[in-house]
Amino acid sequence: MPSSASSSSRSAARAPLFSVLNNRVLLALTHGMFRLTSRCRFWGREHFGVSGASCLIAVAHVSHYDPVVVSTLSRRRIAWWARAEFYVAPGVRWFMNNAGAIRIDRTGPALPGVRNALTALAAGRTVGVYPEGGLRGADNSVLTGGTMQAGVATLARRSRRPVVPCVALGGGQFSRVRSWLPLRTGRLAIAYGPPLMPTQAECKLGRAGRQAFAARVAVAMQTLYAELIRQEPTLALGDGIGEGAFPSREPRHA
């Protein structure tokens, strides 16, 4: 029994592996495809290059395609936090495991996911998180004043790694077949902010400190969003409250 528990603990702490689904060649090819289908604009690329030191990238979650868009346009291998619900279907579970994702259970014990993220960061990898906890729209996105969770602050404090705020707009267009055609009719815009680190005061204040750091990340995201839509007003978030406002097992109502 003790041996089994120890084995389970070691398994939970193992960093995710990067496979063929998340290597630099594939990212470069997908980057070229996005360049053929859409006009891409970038801001703050100096804050998140193709290679660099281990860090967290905190992305405002506005589209199901966000992980693909951010990984592809940055051409950087990112271990994304992924909700446990995505691991139910065998095919999707295989994809998530082979894409280097880190499973996080939002309704059960979060420690294994946190441990895996910290292990990945210690191994020099980049970890991608959605501080809002789910997909959001204009009515509840952090970009428009909505709330966000403080988990990113926990990871930053424990790992001593910086957090790069990021906003990527336009990914939702890829739900339409036309957007995959090499016509450059789409728009993609991505902005990175300067890396943020918790201050000594934020590290000492417990929950209040985590919330204060999360608030700084939120302000940085809102600043990036304001600049993006000033340059690309057609990419402003549409009305709605996103799936984050709905329980995962309950039907949506019109």
H or E element in which residue 67 lies: helix 66-74
Question: Going edge to edge, which strands form the sheet with 102-104?
Answer: 38-43, 186-192, 163-169, 56-59, 126-129, 78-83, 102-104
Q: What is the pLDDT of residue 197?
A: 95
Most confident of 101-105, 113-117, 127-131, 147-151: 127-131
pLDDT at 164: 96
Helix (H) or strand (E) holding 217: helix 207-231
Q: Using 50, 70 and 90 to split pLDDT, how confident is the model at 86?
A: low
- Section 196-211 average pLDDT: 90
Contact in structure between 155 and 130 (CB atoms under 8 Å)? no
Q: What is the pLDDT of residues 52-68, one digit of tens each?
A: 789 999 999 888 888 88
Q: Which pLDDT belongs to residue 190? A: 93
Tokens of 118: 């910290």
Average confidence score pLDDT of the chain: 78
Cα distance between residue 5 and residue 10, in whole Å: 9
